[in-house]
Amino acid sequence: MSRMPDPVPHFNTEAEERTYWEHHDSAEHVDWSKATKVRLPNLKPSSTSISLRLPNSLLEQIKVAAGKRDVPYQSLIKIWLAEKIDTSGAKR
């Protein structure tokens, strides 16, 4: 048997609410019997755009390698960087 969730108290200021949530779990205020599963198929991890200067010849070699693999060259660079980080971390 599930219990009824506690009502969320009224707050007079944002600071008062912040203090409350720092010391209380929001699960106390959720009626889990009404919860439903949700799918988020288009959710993508956040990313940051960077500027990277490469010699033209290196960029052309990367583009050729990406073309052979049928992937965008920027994606291939990300794959290679991730692989390098993974293998470097394993050696430590």
Residue 49 lies in a domain: no
Residue 61 lies in a domain: yes
Tokens representing 26?
């929001």
Domain range holding 7? 1-33
pLDDT of residue 22: 93
Residue 87 lies in a domain: yes
Residue 7 lies in a domain: yes
Residue 16 lies in a domain: yes
Cα-based torsion angle of the residue sequence 86, 87, 88, 91 in order, rounded to the nearest 10 degrees: 120
pLDDT of residue 12: 95
Count structural domains, the chain: 2
Contact 6, 29 (CB under 8 A): yes
Residue 42 lies in a domain: no
Residue 63 lies in a domain: yes
Residue 39 lies in a domain: no
Summarize pLDDT for 47-70 with one digit per residue, the tens: 889 999 999 999 999 999 999 999
pTM listed for this prediction: 0.49
